[in-house]
Amino acid sequence: MRKINLLVIIILVIGAFSYSFAQSDSYLKNKIIVEGFYLRNLGNFSSVWENASGGYISYGIAFPEHNYLMFRVGYINNKLRDDVEVNDATLSIVPLEIGGRYYFTDTRFMPFIQFINGLNIVSETINLEGNQEDKTFVKYAWQVGFGLTINIVSFLSLDVSANYQSNFYEPEAMNTGFEYTVGIGFAIGN
């Protein structure tokens, strides 16, 4: 009896995976995407803040004809250069963004281009000679890039992308850089 139960379970699992691989003629679906990233800062900003890392969580809405609308929030932590002579400094950013992707195909491998813009809530702490200065301000940010979504099964995907971004930090030290992301997408609904 145990062998029959085990055989039935194996057949059901194989059937479920087969169904998930073949059930949909469209991979473009509403998704929640969780991403981690590395950001290489450029320009005058990078003379103080070497690089950054962080993560995003996005909600995406699929539209017909390869279009995708995204809402995303995240956290960015910038790393101070070793040669900067400041006792203690931190710079963190919380991006609140909206944007879109255009997928060139609706298959297992889906290359895309994207444009995202929004507001960054910037928190900066600098400790100079025992005086700590805390600032919080809001700045506009935008990003453009390209990437690839690999649909592992109909409800699970892997996303990779490379983006150029510009966060309006200070006029003399624009926070620009190249961002490299890797994420996992979970389809919601059919």
In this structure, what CATH number is given to the domain that contains residue 34?
Answer: 2.40.160.20
Domain that holds residue 94: 28-187
Best-predicted range by mean pLDDT (22-36, 59-73, 82-96): 59-73
Query: 45 in a domain, yes or no?
Result: yes
The distance from CA 145 to its chain's CA centroid, rounded to whole angstroms, is 12
> 141, 121 in Cβ contact below 8 A?
no
Query: 15 in a domain, yes or no?
Result: no
Note the pLDDT tens digit of each residue in 144-171: 999 999 999 889 999 999 999 988 767 6
Number of domains in the chain: 1
Residue 6 per-residue DSSP state: H
Query: 108 in a domain, yes or no?
Result: yes
Query: 167 in a domain, yes or no?
Result: yes
Query: 6 in a domain, yes or no?
Result: no
Residue 126 pLDDT exceeds 90? no
How confident is residue 21, by pLDDT bands cut at 50, 70 and 90?
very low
Query: 138 in a domain, yes or no?
Result: yes
Three-state secondary structure readout of 115-160:
EEEEEEEEEEEEEECCEEEEEEEEEEEEEEEEEEEEEEECCEEEEE
pTM of the model: 0.79
Note the pLDDT tens digit of each residue in 71-97: 999 999 988 887 777 767 888 999 999
Note the pLDDT tens digit of each residue in 103-118: 999 889 999 999 999 9
Mean pLDDT of the chain: 84
Per cent of the chain over pLDDT 70 is: 80
Query: 12 in a domain, yes or no?
Result: no
Q: What is the pLDDT of residue 23?
A: 47
Q: What is the pLDDT of residue 162?
A: 96
